[in-house]
Amino acid sequence: MSDTAAPERDVLAGRLAYLTVGLPTLGTAAAIAYAYADGLTALDLTLFAVMYLLTALGVEAGMHRYFTHRSFAAAAPVKVGLAVAGSMAAQGPIVFWVANHRLHHAYADTDRDPHSPQPRGPGLRGRLAGLWHGHLGWLFEVRKTEWNRHCRDWLSDRAVMRVNQHYFWVVLAGIVAPGLIGGLVSWTWHGVIGGILWGGFARIFALDHATWAVNSLGHTIGFREFRTRDESRNIGLLAPATVGGSWHNNHHARPSLAQTRRHWWQFDIAGRFIRILEQLGLASNVRYVDAESEPAR
């Protein structure tokens, strides 16, 4: 398909991208400056780590494996919890996230893929432009799409749509909450400010770039264990930061599975989390690897 047939850019989404990218970047710079001026405490790091893990699971187990690929069924409280945790990552409302990722799988590494990092011109400059586009440049070039058409399965779910409708308030809560917790635990203003900066803005910045690295580097470098029609690749070094999302070639080979690992040594926190939910009776119909239907390697 040619670019001439592609929908025009969504101006509003492009403008919001400046907030999505800009505020966490500025907040991270402020966090570093504040730590230099007033110190970096164990509480700051703890709030960063806890909020990172919470929202990373919200993105990978929630937005990705549950809402997009329906790789398991979740009890109502888990569904809402994943929706809230995933939205706190500030990567877009549920409908936006799901629609774009389903488009990515439908048109992977073609001109209709929202964030393919394939070269956008000749030579090194074209390759770098492709990487930039696949990483975060695509957010400024989002095309007008009927998002609802690509996630009709969730439109009738009132709980999910309520979280989707209040997306910006959920993001704000994810920034303010670690500040309140930091203040209550330490009973100091440093706890409040440090919680907001490290558990809020810096955490969003780090998780966003880890997720976007799967879109860019995960289609450029790494190991291809399975033959797929796209350029998806596995990057083991990113597995901890993406809670298993960087086993991207594994995922593209079988997108509907609740786990991305294919070997015992492949680190997949989100897959383990889903298994724990199943053991607790909070998840069902979990899709695991079926050796008989595994694609060719």
Q: Can you give the pLDDT at residue 297?
A: 64
d(CA 37, CA 178): 20
CA 163 to chain centre: 17
Domain boundaries, the chain: 3-293
Closest to 233 measured CA to CA, from 118, 156, 142, 151: 118
Q: Looking at residue 9, what is its pLDDT?
A: 66
**Per-residue pLDDT tens digits for 202-236:** 999 999 999 999 999 999 999 999 999 999 999 99
Nearest Cα residue to 103 out of 243, 4, 7: 7
E strand or H helix at 277 = helix 269-279
pLDDT of residue 79: 98
Residues of the chain with pLDDT under 70: 1-11, 13-14, 144-147, 291-297
State the residue for tokens 């405490």: 41
Pairing between β-strand 73-74 and β-strand 283-284 as defined by DSSP bridges: antiparallel
Question: What does pTM read for this prediction?
Answer: 0.93
* pLDDT at residue 293, rounded to an integer: 54
**Residue 94 has what pLDDT?**
95
